[in-house]
Amino acid sequence: MLKKLEIEGYIRKLPRSSKQVEESIKLAERDLEFARSILNQNYDWAFNIAYNSILQAFRALMYSKGYRASSRNSHIATLKFAEIYLEESDILYFDRMRRKRHKSVYDVAGAISKTEAENAVLKSGKILDKVKKLIE
């Protein structure tokens, strides 16, 4: 599967860097904490920042395996890479978040409900924990 993603141009091999892994985890933790802190102030941004936390966690996973996303469709590339290592339910949730995030960032203010934002923050924490265990 990794070879297929390389051939299709989604990912590229790179030297493993514990510093890149560590920095991406720090970014994921920062974003998760901030999403929690603004949850009751702005549902759209709490959701979007929780999404970014998962994206950073997935990037950390890629770095830990010696890969990075190519510049082409980097969010999709990261998603496809994570499919190899995580449960299907986590991948499907992230993909739904990706589409909803796009709508809330580019098309419609107020697109995210309180429940969606709360669920996104909760799920982001759970996925980050799973990724950390995979990296250890």
Least confident of 24-33, 38-47, 51-60, 105-114: 105-114
Q: Which residue, among 59, 50, 80, has the nearest Cα to 131 in the 3D structure?
A: 59
pLDDT tens-digit profile of 101-136? 888 877 788 889 999 999 999 999 999 999 999 998
Q: 122 to each of 51, 69, 98, 104, how far by Cα in Å?
A: 11, 26, 16, 19
The CATH classification number of 2-135 equals: 1.20.120.330
11 DSSP β-pair partners: 69
Contact (CB, 8 A) for 57 and 131: yes
How would residue 73 be classed by pLDDT, with cut points 50, 70 and 90? confident
The yes-or-no verdict on residue 55 having pLDDT over 80 is yes
pTM over 0.85: yes
Q: What is the DSSP string of 3-27?
A: HHHHHTTSEEE----HHHHHHHHHH
CA angle 103, 55, 122 (to 5 degrees): 80
- pLDDT at residue 92 in the model: 94
Task: Compute the average pLDDT of residues 45-70.
Answer: 96
